[in-house]
């Protein structure tokens, strides 16, 4: 039988490395039997239960709070912080309605952070409810909480609300500026416009006397914005600023990777290579950025050589690396090399092919004119093909003038869309028009007319064209 001091030491020791749920439950029972209910020990229990990520483990973590003699906001914060985003939001909502427990700043910070990480359709609405409680209970003066709100709105693509919170902050830290700049840079839609907004905000950060100095995270986000815009002159200015300040591209792997990506996408591959070679530390993102640069510039064999260099440097490629390598093969028609790489992808490197990798091979075969091989490749896939694969093959049929194969693929694609019950008729219109273009290539005008009539009957309308260059220029004129 252990005495109390010895049991406390044993409990702390065991809590460091529970091997299973049953082991953790035994420790939990031992603590309860001996009356060890101090918040630090219970917090460790909650952390380890949450780390197991099983349904039963999460249930036991929740029971720790419900079985307390009185509510404890510290343990509630630990549970919200350690749970997965969905459970964190549910815990917050559940305890928000209970009497006798007042939330503190960290409760709202962790709840908003969970809403930022959540991938559900209701995350934005739930986060707004949390934010409304922040305003109602007077926690707006907390800079960390305001910064988390900016991050939350940015992660959920509500940039207007993010900017409003940011503009209303009387004081800002570097994390506040970074959260807003990152929010602009992470948008996939209208990336050109938001990339420009990110650079304008960075300029405001430099000239604002109250602003803190940019840090490494700031510069990584700014380099991402420059890459989206493809403005090399701005990129070189940002690089010069980095060199003149405390940041060293040779020492900081993330800044160095951002520079490689920026120069490669800006059309200056030599500068990208120079930065790449000077970097002392490279991770898989660095190698992937360089491979992407080679792919963009049609240097397929140099991209493939990078794979051998990665092995020699002990860096394992990931899914994105292979996507870039396949794109490099596709640009210069390295069919045999691409197929060999695909075959060795899982066998040699342990990377399971995803649907985008299959799409790269279909594109590779299709552009090289091996339409039958591409068609058979899709049918023999180990996973279900998506519409993008069939569209890629259909486009290749149009390029090579194979009307027979194009008609077969086009009908499969339209049936595929009907089976999936696609709601966005704009996406379906692309498939109808692609099939119509294939018929037009073979001068089968009656079939072209038939496709147009079907689109009218089904009320399928084409999407209007949109030019990113024109949009960017108009914004520059407005500014």
Percent of the chain with pLDDT over 70: 88
Q: Cα–Cα–Cα angle for 438, 443, 446, nearest 5°?
A: 90
Between residues 340 and 466, which one has the greater pLDDT? 340
Q: What is the pLDDT of residues 72-96, one digit of tens each?
A: 888 888 888 888 888 888 888 888 7
Q: 151 vs 479, which has greater pLDDT?
A: 151
pLDDT surpasses 80 at 246: no
Mean pLDDT, the chain, whole residue set: 83
Q: Cβ distance 75 to 61 under 8 Å?
A: no
Please report where in the chains the tokens 């694609």 appear, as a residue. 413
* Burial of residue 452 (number of CB atoms within 10 Å: 0-12, 13-18, 19+): middle
Cα–chain center distance at 51: 23
Nearest of 314, 181, 310, 356 to residue 258 by alpha carbon:
181
For the chain, what are the domain ranges? Answer: 181-281, 370-479
In this prediction, residue 192 carries a pLDDT of 84
More confident residue, 63 or 236: 236
Task: Report the greatest alpha carbon distance in the chain.
Answer: 92
pLDDT (0 to 100) of residue 219: 93
* Res 9: pLDDT: 45
Tokens 């491979």 belong to residue: 291
Range scoring the smallest mean pLDDT among 4-13, 26-35, 357-366? 4-13
Residue with tokens 């035994």: 26
Picking from 298, 306, 335, 299, the residue whose alpha carbon sits closest to that of residue 322 is 306
Backbone angles phi, psi at 39, to 5 degrees: -55, -40
pLDDT at residue 16, rounded to an integer = 55
**Residue 157 in contact with residue 182, Cβ under 8 Å?**
no
Secondary structure (3-state) at 254? helix
**Pick from 303, 301, 278: nearest CA to 290:** 303
Cα–Cα distance list, 245 to 68, 77, 173, 263, 277 (Å): 52, 38, 19, 20, 21
Query: What CA–CA distance (Å, rounded) separates 43 from 48?
Result: 9
Is it the case that residue 406 has pLDDT exceeding 80?
A: yes
Q: Which two tokens stand for residue 457?
A: 């009957």
Least confident of 60-69, 270-279, 411-420: 411-420
Q: Classify burial at 362, counting beta carbons within 10 Å of its beta carbon; exposed 0-12, middle 13-18, buried 19 or more.
A: buried
**What's the rounded Cα separation, in Å, for the pair 379 and 24?**
48
- What is residue 465's predicted lDDT score, i.e. its pLDDT? 55
What's the pLDDT score for residue 437? 78
Q: Using one digit for the tens of pLDDT, what is the confidence trace for 10-19?
A: 445 454 556 6
2 pLDDT higher than 60: no
- Calpha distance 60→37 (Å, rounded): 15
> Sorting pLDDT into bands at 50, 70 and 90, what band is 62?
confident
Crossing angle of the two packed helices 425-441 and 445-457, in degrees rounded to 10: 170
Q: Which of 107-111, 163-167, 169-173, 450-454 has the lowest mean pLDDT?
A: 450-454
* Choice between 462 and 76, residue whose per-residue pLDDT is larger: 76
State mean pLDDT over 384-399: 86
Planar angle of CA 28, 30, 31, nearest 5 degrees: 65
Q: Give the model's pLDDT for residue 419.
A: 62
pLDDT at 24: 77
Cβ–Cβ < 8 Å for 434, 391 = yes
In this structure, are residues 295 and 305 in contact, taking their beta carbons and an 8 Å threshold?
no
- pLDDT at residue 168 in the model: 92
Residue 228 pLDDT: 87
Q: How does residue 427 score in pLDDT terms, banded at 50, 70 and 90?
A: low
DSSP string, 422-456: ---HHHHHHHHHHHHHHHHHTT-HHHHHHHHHHHH
Give the pLDDT of residue 376. Answer: 93
**pLDDT score for 48:** 80
pLDDT score of 468 more than 60: no
CA distance 230 to 472: 12
User: Which pLDDT score, from 0 to 100, does residue 479 have?
Assistant: 47
**Gyration radius from the chain CA atoms:** 28
Per-residue confidence (pLDDT) for residue 269, from 0 to 100: 93
Confidence of residue 413 (pLDDT cuts 50, 70, 90): confident
**Integer Cα distance of 307 and 286 in angstroms:** 12
More confident residue, 59 or 105: 105
pLDDT at 476: 43
């Amino acid at each position: 039988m252990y005495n109390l001091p010895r049991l406390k030491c044993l409990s702390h020791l065991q809590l460091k490395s529970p091997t299973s749920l049953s082991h953790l439950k035994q420790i939990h029972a031992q603590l309860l039997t001996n009356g060890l209910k101090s918040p630090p020990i219970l917090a460790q229990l909650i952390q380890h239960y949450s780390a197991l990520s099983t349904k039963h483990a999460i249930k036991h973590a929740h029971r720790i709070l419900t079985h307390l003699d009185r509510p404890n906001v510290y343990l509630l914060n630990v549970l919200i912080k350690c749970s997965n985003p969905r459970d964190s939001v549910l815990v917050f909502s559940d305890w928000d309605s209970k009497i006798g427990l007042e939330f503190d700043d960290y409760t709202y910070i962790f709840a908003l952070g969970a809403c930022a990480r959540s991938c559900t359709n209701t995350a934005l609405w739930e986060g707004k409810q949390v934010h409304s409680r922040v305003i109602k209970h007077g926690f707006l003066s907390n800079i960390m909480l305001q910064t988390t709100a900016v991050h939350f709105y940015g992660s959920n693509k509500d940039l207007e609300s993010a900017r409003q919170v940011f503009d209303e902050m009387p004081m800002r830290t570097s994390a506040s500026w970074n959260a807003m700049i990152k929010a602009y840079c992470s948008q996939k839609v209208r990336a050109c416009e938001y990339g420009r907004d990110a650079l304008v905000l960075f300029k405001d950060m430099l000239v604002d006397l109250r602003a803190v100095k940019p840090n490494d995270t700031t510069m990584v986000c700014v380099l991402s914005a420059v890459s989206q815009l493809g403005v090399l002159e701005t990129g070189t200015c940002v690089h010069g600023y980095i060199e003149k300040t405390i940041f060293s591209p040779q020492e900081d792997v993330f800044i160095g990777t951002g520079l490689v990506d920026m120069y490669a996408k800006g059309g200056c591959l030599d500068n990208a290579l120079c930065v790449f070679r000077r970097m002392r530390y490279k991770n898989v993102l660095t190698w992937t950025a360089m491979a992407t640069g080679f792919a963009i510039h049609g240097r397929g064999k140099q991209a493939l050589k990078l794979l051998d260099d990665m092995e020699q440097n002990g860096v394992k490629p990931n899914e994105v690396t292979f996507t870039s390598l396949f794109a490099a093969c596709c640009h210069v028609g390295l069919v045999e090399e691409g197929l060999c790489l695909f075959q060795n992808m899982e066998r040699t490197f342990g990377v399971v092919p995803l649907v985008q990798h299959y799409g790269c091979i279909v594109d590779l075969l299709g552009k090289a004119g091996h339409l039958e091989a591409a068609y058979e490749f899709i049918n023999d896939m180990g996973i279900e093909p998506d519409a993008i694969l069939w569209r890629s093959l259909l486009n290749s049929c149009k390029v090579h003038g194979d009307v027979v194969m194009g008609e077969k693929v086009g009908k499969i694609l339209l049936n595929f869309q009907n089976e999936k019950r696609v709601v966005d008729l704009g996406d379906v219109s692309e498939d109808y028009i692609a099939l119509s273009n294939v018929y037009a290539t073979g001068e089968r005008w009656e079939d072209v007319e038939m496709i147009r009539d079907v689109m009218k009957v089904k009320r399928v309308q084409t999407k209007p064209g949109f030019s990113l260059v024109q949009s960017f220029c108009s914004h520059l004129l407005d500014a």
